[in-house]
Amino acid sequence: MAGNKRKVEVNQNIGVRVMLARRKAKLTQKEVARQVPMSPTALNRLENGLQSVSGECIAALARILHVSADWLLGVADEDEDGAMLVMKAVA
C-alpha cells in the first residue's frame, strides 16, 4: 500500500510541474497534447496526478515545454533557463 501512495505522490508532483511549465509557456492542454502526442483528456489526467507517464512522454513534454526531464521528474529544482520555479507542496 505504501508503494501505491508513493506512486500517486510522484504522479502528482510530475503533473503539477507539467501544468506549471505549460502555463509558463502559455500553451493550452490541447496544444501540448497534440505535440506529445496524447489526448487532451490524458494530459488533463496527468496534470491532476491521475495518470502515469512513460519516459518517452516525459522527454517529449520536456522538449515542448522547454524544461529539463530532470525538472519534470522532480530531480532538479530549476527549469532549463535556470529560473527557480516555486511549487506548492502536493498534499
pLDDT tens digits for range 1-18: 555 666 667 778 899 999
Name the pTM for this structure: 0.79
Cis peptide bond upstream of 40, omega within 30: no
Q: What CATH class has 2-73? A: mainly alpha
Domain boundaries, the chain: 2-73
Give the whole-angstrom CA distance, residue 32 versus residue 51: 16
Ranking 23-27, 64-68, 86-90 by mean pLDDT, the lowest is 86-90
**3-state secondary structure at position 78:** strand
